[in-house]
Amino acid sequence: MIPAALLLAGCLRSTPTRDAWTNDASIEFPHFFGQPAVEVGADGGTVELNGTVLHALEAAAADFLGPQDANTPCVDRRESHRYRVIQRQGITFVRMDEDPRACGLTVPALHSGAQYAVGSDGRILRRLRDGEPDGSLMPTDAGPGILVPTSEVGRSFDAPDGSVPLPFLQAPSLDAGTGGRHGP
């Protein structure tokens, strides 16, 4: 009876979920590398962060890197990343990039960074991971273009009737698997 009651009580709890966020494409990210950043500890000076900036950093890192524990791989750890922060109009913009040197590597992984726009309440307003298309950029008008007759659509070299050999089949070549020559 007691095990059934405990099981039922466990089912009644709501499961934790991430805070809801919107991907507001109208928010444009600033140029994080447009000017030199002041690096913490570079000259031994004091750096002061307000709670809004700290909360934005925590929210972005938690979303991008997920939960952390002793088994988290080095490249996925928060301390293995570099962060840039810009505040504008009540929004904290955070740029995160993998720091390969923190893990004894020389180059970062492809698409290993992200940009976040975080509101003053700590809610993520926009996220853009490296390699994702930037929805805020509208395509430019390429003009009217050049019409291609339907008889030319899908046509490559010459007609495949054998009268003219295709250029990539004209000379014998080595087969990469056997080293033997193959060709027409």
pTM of the model: 0.63
Question: Rounded CA gap, 138 and 158, in Å?
Answer: 38
CA distances from 133 to 25, 139, 175 (A): 11, 12, 39
- 110: nearest Cα among 101, 97, 123, 92: 97
The secondary structure of 6-70, three-state, reads HHHHHHHCCCCCCCCCCCCCCCCCCCCCCCCCCCCCCCCCCCCCCHHHHHHHHHHHHHHHCCCCC
pLDDT of residue 178: 66
Q: What is the pLDDT of residues 139-184, one digit of tens each?
A: 666 677 777 777 766 655 555 566 666 555 566 666 666 666 655 5
Question: Rounded CA gap, 21 and 170, in Å?
Answer: 58
